[in-house]
Amino acid sequence: MSKKVEITEKLKTWAKQLKQEIYTLYLVNKDPRVPWFARVFIFCVVGYALSPIDLIPDFIPVLGYLDDIIILPLGIALALKMIPSTVLTECRQKARERLNTDRPKSVATASIVIVALLISIWLSAAWCLWYWIR
């Protein structure tokens, strides 16, 4: 029984850290000191994290959760490598403070990110289909 509780606590801690890193990336994306290519990548990672649509649907056994367990943390890790260390330190501190005091309430921003991500996915799929047919 205690092993189950220990695993649950580790998962809760990991999920909390993941949430903080996603919010850190959101804050980093607003900073003008971040290179444009990092901003584009961060936008995609945060959009994917907030998107209700997964690369692999969750109802597929085992494979459905691979994107949540592997792809998202890998995207976050790559995004964090692109950010200057001073910016990352400042934004991590802000994220820690804000997540401990109040919740971010930008539904409009989340909606814009999700819509932009969905449009880019559909445009990419349409282009691939057009290219394949041609």
- Residue spans per domain, the chain: 2-133
Question: Are 2 and 65 in contact, with CB atoms under 8 Å apart?
Answer: no
Which pLDDT score is estimated for 45? 83
Which pLDDT score is estimated for 72? 80
Which pLDDT score is estimated for 61? 72
Tokens representing 76 are: 């976050």
Residue environment code for 17-28, b if the CB has 16+ CB neighbours within 10 A, otherwise e:
eeebbbbbbbbb
CA 83 to chain centre: 15
Which pLDDT score is estimated for 85? 92
Which pLDDT score is estimated for 113? 79
Which pLDDT score is estimated for 104? 53
Task: Taking the CA atoms of 6, 72, 54 and 17 in sequence, report the sign of the dihedral they define.
Answer: positive
Instruction: Collect the ranges in the chain with pLDDT lower than 70.
Output: 1, 55, 58, 102-106
Tokens representing 48 are: 């994917």
User: Phi-psi bin for 62: left (phi > 0), alpha (psi -120 to 50), beta?
Assistant: left
Q: Is the entire prediction scored with pTM above 0.85?
A: no
